[in-house]
Amino acid sequence: MARELIDLLWRDHPDAPRGGTRGPRAKVTTTQAVDSAVAMADREGLEAVTVRRLAADLGISAMALYTHVGSRDDLLVLMVDAVHAGRTRAAYTSDDWRDRVRQVAEAEMALCTEHWWLLDVADQRAAFGPGTIAKYDHELHAFDETGIDDVERDAALTFVTDFVRASARARRPDPHAADMAELWTTASERLAGYLGDGFPLAQRVGAAAGEAMNAAYSPEHAWDFGLNRVLDALESLIRT
């Protein structure tokens, strides 16, 4: 019988329930199964991760794998927590809360770009995992000495991470990105001919932004601009 998800998440804790000792020893552990699933998702995307496919790669039956992970939804939660647990969390070295929050944002962006599939998992049960809790605790300390209360601290962190995840989605590998960069330099004049005098504001702003970024859209420019505005918004809260 599969264990409850909370017990699977905390399987390495001394108080976690242990399976029975009778019967042959399992060929793989839950941790090995989760690590294999993470590697598969990193290589091929989340769609590739199925219980049947993972079991075949591990050399066990799907039924045997279900005793380790419960269900595919539970497996995804275990994968998220494993990634969070395995991430090195650098100590804060700045006395400026803006620097600390920027560090949180940049670490979250690095995590998302290393594991793109994280953006496709929205299961809030990951919050029960030890890796996720440790990550959350570390990030909350970025707001130390700011004077905001606990509810505001949680909301401020959510505000930052929501922005990061939205920005990460815009950075996902785009098979047309190279074509778009070339098209921007070759088609702008023809596009202006089609537009004529129409949409003057869009033409003026688009031309200025395109010249500055040499593209119709720059994730890096959007990131710098957006993160600074997020920090500005939080500063108004902290000053109050």
What is the C-alpha to C-alpha distance for residues 1 and 63, in angstroms, rounded to an integer?
10
**Which residues, including other chains, have CB under 8 Å from residue 68's CB and lie 6 or more apart?**
2, 8, 26, 28, 29, 30, 33
What does pTM read for this prediction?
0.86
Residue type, 17: P
Give the residue among 212, 225, 123, 133 at the shortest CA–CA distance from 170: 225
pLDDT band at 193 (very low <50, low <70, confident <90, very high): confident
Of the candidates 23, 58, 84, which is a domain's last residue? 84
235 & 117 share domain: yes
CATH number at residue 75: 1.10.10.60
**230 CB neighbour count, 10 Å cutoff:** 20
What is the C-alpha to C-alpha distance for residues 126 and 155, in angstroms, rounded to an integer?
18
202 & 101 share domain: no
Of the candidates 52, 84, 116, which is a domain's last residue? 84
71-87: pLDDT as tens digits: 999 999 999 999 999 99
Residue 233, token pair as written in the block: 């918004």
Segment 100-125 mean pLDDT = 97
